[in-house]
Amino acid sequence: MRVLAAMSGGVDSAVAAARLVDAGHEVVGVHLALSKNPETYRSGARGCCSLEDSHDARRAADVLGIPFYVWDFAERFAEDVVADFVSEYAAGRTPNPCLRCNEKIKFAAVLERGRALGFDAVATGHYARLERDGERVSLYRSAEPAKDQSYVLGVLDADQLRHSLFPLGADTAKAEVRAEAAARGLFLAKKPDSHDICFIPTGDTAGFLHSRLGRREGDIVDESGEVVGAHAGAHQFTVGQRHGLHLSVPAADGRPRYVLRVDPVHNAVTVGPKSSLAVRTIEAIRPTWTEGKIEGSWRGLVQVRAHGEAMPATISAAGSGVRIELDERAYGIAPGQAAVHYDGDRVVGSATIARAEA
């Protein structure tokens, strides 16, 4: 099989490519250039997709003895991921750029070009499992719970999964991957994992949003409408946020307050006690199904954060909407986040949270 191995410059994607070579596949490595100024996308262990990473990926490909190319997706990444991120925050929602990158870049743009060039599949270093039964491909959680990345892959559809490979998903712990990389002579065996948003290497999301959207002073109010603080732009807040509020009026009971609502139209932020964040019903839109469209209701699990807990729920799908009734209250459910549906460890699909209510 001809396989296009997406090589980020990290240890996971390098070992994934190595395993494909061992399996006898015809493997070609490709690194995605996602910025016109890639040196700005990394600071130590933060971010990814830097100039440093492209060099690391090339050296790993040389060790493996496979062809290697750099593909320029900077313009598409800027439009589909970065601009989407900014516009979602401007609308009072909380996006997940890693999901959007998987959906729009790694498993759409790359797969589209790869198949046009005659490749059978795209492989990445994600920690998730695929099980195949003829044309049917099912996506499962990784056997390594601490590294499971099935949540950020829940946006993929059945056709994309049929042409995907995750060589690290079956039975691999991170320590074993690093040991394997060292045994193979891959110098990046000790390279630290990247974290945070790749296009915000400083980790200062609020500062990045201010640079794109400007500052717009407004009020922070409590549930009664009393002004308890000020802000420089409602776009810097997300539902469930506790830190960074800098409230001038403490709560009467002395307890912490959290962001309950973000109103981008009136540039207002409402705060209150944690109890006011409790929700039982989630309305979601734009569903994606990993094994084909589903209609009707079923019992399953729902996860709303990459490292969050999967919650028992009744899930009902109809047309372009999904309604989720949680068995127990959940807190800090923000519009714009992804609700990924599971049947046990199997990923069923995902949808974007539009609103949540008690």
Whether residue 98 lies in the annotated active site: no
CB within 8 Å of 241: residues ≥ 6 apart:
258, 259
Taking CA atoms, 298 is separated from 234, 322, 342, in Å, by 37, 11, 11
Q: How many whole angstroms separate alpha carbon 127 and alpha carbon 161? A: 14
Whether residue 198 lies in the annotated active site: yes
Single-letter amino acid, residue 256: P
Q: How many whole angstroms separate alpha carbon 20 and alpha carbon 26? A: 8
Q: How many residues does the chain have?
A: 358
Contact present, 327 and 276 (Cβ < 8 Å): no
Q: Which residue, chain included where needed, has tokens 């060790």?
A: 63
Single-letter amino acid, residue 177: V
Q: How many whole angstroms separate alpha carbon 70 and alpha carbon 62? A: 14
The tokens of 262 are what?
A: 């973000």
Q: How many whole angstroms separate alpha carbon 80 and alpha carbon 20? A: 30
Q: Treating both helix axes as pointing N-terminal to C-terminal, what angle do 11-22 and 51-64 enclose, rounded to 10 degrees? A: 20
Active-site option among 48, 49, 98, 198: 198
What kind and span of H or E run contains 298?
strand 296-303
Contact present, 5 and 20 (Cβ < 8 Å): yes
Q: How many whole angstroms separate alpha carbon 157 and alpha carbon 103? A: 9
Q: How many whole angstroms separate alpha carbon 91 and alpha carbon 17? A: 40
Q: How many whole angstroms separate alpha carbon 102 and alpha carbon 290? A: 14
- Residue 10: φ, ψ to 5°: -105, 175
Neighbours of 45 (CB within 10 A): 13
DSSP state of 64: H
Active-site option among 48, 49, 98, 101: 101
Q: How many whole angstroms separate alpha carbon 196 and alpha carbon 204? A: 10
Which residues are identified as catalytic? 101, 198
